[in-house]
Chain A
Amino acid sequence: MRALSSLVCGFVFGWGLFISGMMRPEKVLAFLDIFAIPSGGWDPSLAVVMAAALLVTGIGYALARRGTPVFAEKSQWPAQSVIDRRLVTGSILFGAGWGLVGLCPGPAIANLATLSMPVIVFVIAMAVGTLAHDHWFTRVVPASMPSLASANADG
């Protein structure tokens, strides 16, 4: 049942990305290009997508706090609260990659549906980056990384 409900959630999420236009890197880059504001070329759509998503998630999560999930024993809310060097460094790297191409992980994976070669390259590279990170922190400097696939991961 958890696999099925997760399939539905992924499907709804994918439709959200599709309808909002966020699957299109050019639309994301048009939002990030704030220097196009004076010329009227700026596209604030991404801000509306986030605002709507935050409104629904904020209310839904507040209600979900009170109950237990239907198909799991308990909700796995992230427990980390410290803003550390890993968070800052990782966010800088992610921002750089996102700004270069206009794809973040969700839209990149959803775009596999188009079988576009650059998207396939991007997702493979994303997997390489992820595995390189995991290799580095489990094999090379394991002491600084207590639990990898931790339930406490933010997302």
Chain B
Amino acid sequence: MINFTPISAAIGGALIGLAAVLLMRFNGRIAGITGIFAGLIDPAADDRLWRATFVVGLIVAPLSAWLLGWGISNPQMPTSLTLVAVAGVFVGFGTRLSNGCTSGHGVCGIARLSPRSIAATAIFMAVAVAVVALMRHVIGA
């Protein structure tokens, strides 16, 4: 476990939890990125402003880290943009269909002990583990 970073993981996780609690205390909303993102781009949606500012905050955070002198590297992504696009469509369609992702189901939902969110998280985790195993250890990509 050479790359295990438990302290920064715990601090970062606590901040994610804090953000979720604050959004509920202030605005009465679940901090689910799927719902926030979908409500922002859906032409039929109203109540866009708070979603837009949340997304701005999400993007400004790493920028501010960079301005403070923290190193930020480009994320390591597959070289095939086709693969990236297919994965993106799966994530966009799938999270919308199941009404949540790692934040909405994985954090906010499990924190409410919602059976739906526990089931969703177990399923997307298991499938992701299987896909990584397939890509790395069977196909060898």
Contacts and interface: CB of A to CB of B under 8 A. Distances in A.
Contacts of A45: 3-6, 8-9
Contacts of A153: 30, 32, 34-35, 99-100, 104
Interface residues of B, number: 120
B75 to A, nearest CB: 5
A100 B86 contact: yes
A110 B108 contact: no
B75 A103 contact: yes
A122 B57 contact: no
A49 B84 CA distance: 25
A94 to B, nearest CB: 3
Contacts of A25: 75-77
Q: Main secondary structure on chain B at its contact with chain A? A: helix
A129 interface: yes
A123 B87 CA distance: 10
Contacts of A92: 94, 123-124, 127
B111 A57 contact: yes
A21 B8 contact: yes
Given A10-B61, A134-B42, A106 B1 contact: no
Interface of B: 1-6, 8-35, 37-39, 41-42, 44-46, 49-66, 70, 72-78, 81, 83-112, 114-117, 119-121, 123-133, 135-137
Given A118-B75, A129-B90, 9 more contacts: A16-B18, A20-B13, A44-B6, A53-B16, A54-B110, A57-B17, A60-B21, A78-B30, A108-B91
